Amino acid sequence: MYYIGLDVGGTNLAAGVVDRDGNILQKLSRPVDKRMTADELCIELGRLAVDVCAAAGLGIGDISAVGAGFPGMVDNEKGVVISTPNMPFRGTRFRELFRAVCDADVYLGNDAKCAAIGEYMAGAAKGCDPAVVVTLGTGIGGGMVTGGRLFTGYAGSGTEIGHMIIRPGGVPCGCGNRGCWEQYGSATALIRITREEMERSPESLLWELCSGDIGKVQGRTAFDGVKRGDDAARRALDTYLEGLALGLSNIINILHPEVICLGGGISNADDSLLLEPLREMALSNSFDKVTPTRIVKAALGNDAGIVGAALLCNML
Ligand SMILES: [Zn+2]
């Protein structure tokens, strides 16, 4: 049995043929043409599915199901992409448009939830239940597998963990609230915190690390500064870790998952600067100090979205 997973991103559309255990047999990706409408993107995804299938030497008849992970809200029952903040999908009839090009059963999911399925089936959360996957990117995405199924909540909007409020009245968030976790724990947040620390510290080495241009600060800048012994970088990273750990502690105390996998570019930082301090802080805030939740690095990188989307049909 083979499946096709589609990872729908703002810059790239990626597709993979995946077996039932989550192994990728063939992969294809195409850059997103920013002029394309939502309907055109759905048709392009249909073509991509047909092409990746052919590249794997298979026909669409060999495919049990297709799944697509979108960066936003979907209604799988209706086959509609409700909205995506950074792409043009809005009330888009994806299933209908896709099936006009690629005649297979197709399931719709959210990209962060698909990544959780991917890590659970074939990555760092394999065999762990409940498993939570936290993706640290522009925002914070989340997904959970429990009892061998994806947790979706009522109408599919569960595990929007990036929008748990950790600082009432805090930094405004794109969702309309203030003080959401993603304003303190995402890659974007680390960049903001690093810049704020630089503005207070004109002597900091951080300025040298971004060639004097504060606009060039990246998620890794603070980590690089800490490695070179810079005090402002240390303060920035400590502030960031405190916010990140707070959200992780809340997840642990509410759900007590067996494992939390951290994904996204930030998760590639050295364990001694990220995972080890996070484990210590999260444990000290945990109600259960005897059987701690393991906090690990996600294993599949960008492939998690493809694998999870492909196997979405088995997880709903
Ligand atoms: Zn929010």
CA of 173 to the centre of ligand 1 (A): 5
How many domains is the chain built from? Answer: 2
Q: Tens digits of per-residue pLDDT, 99-118? A: 999 999 999 999 999 999 99
pLDDT over 90 at 132, yes or no = yes
The verdict on 163 and 270 lying in the same domain is yes
Residues with CB under 5 A from ligand 1 (ion): 163, 173, 175, 177, 180
Q: What are the backbone angles phi and psi of residue 75, rounded to the nearest 5°?
A: -120, 100
The verdict on 217 and 170 lying in the same domain is yes
Q: Which range of residues forms the domain containing residue 86?
A: 2-118+303-314
The verdict on 131 and 249 lying in the same domain is yes
The verdict on 269 and 134 lying in the same domain is yes
Q: For 73-76, which contacts have Cβ atoms below 8 Å and span 24 or more sequence positions?
A: 73/110, 73/156, 73/157, 74/108, 74/109, 74/110, 74/156, 75/108, 75/155, 75/156, 76/107, 76/108, 76/109, 76/156, 76/316
CA of 72 to the centre of ligand 1 (A): 13
Q: Tens digits of per-residue pLDDT, 228-280? A: 999 999 999 999 999 999 999 999 999 999 999 999 999 999 999 999 999 99
What CATH number is given to the structural domain containing 32? 3.30.420.40
The verdict on 198 and 281 lying in the same domain is yes
The verdict on 22 and 143 lying in the same domain is no
Query: 3-class SS at 89?
Result: coil
Within the chain, residue ranges assigned H as helices are 38-55, 94-99, 111-122, 182-185, 187-200, 205-209, 219-227, 231-255, 275-284, 303-311
Is the separation of the CB atoms in 261 and 247 below 8 Å? no
Span 23-42, mean pLDDT? 97
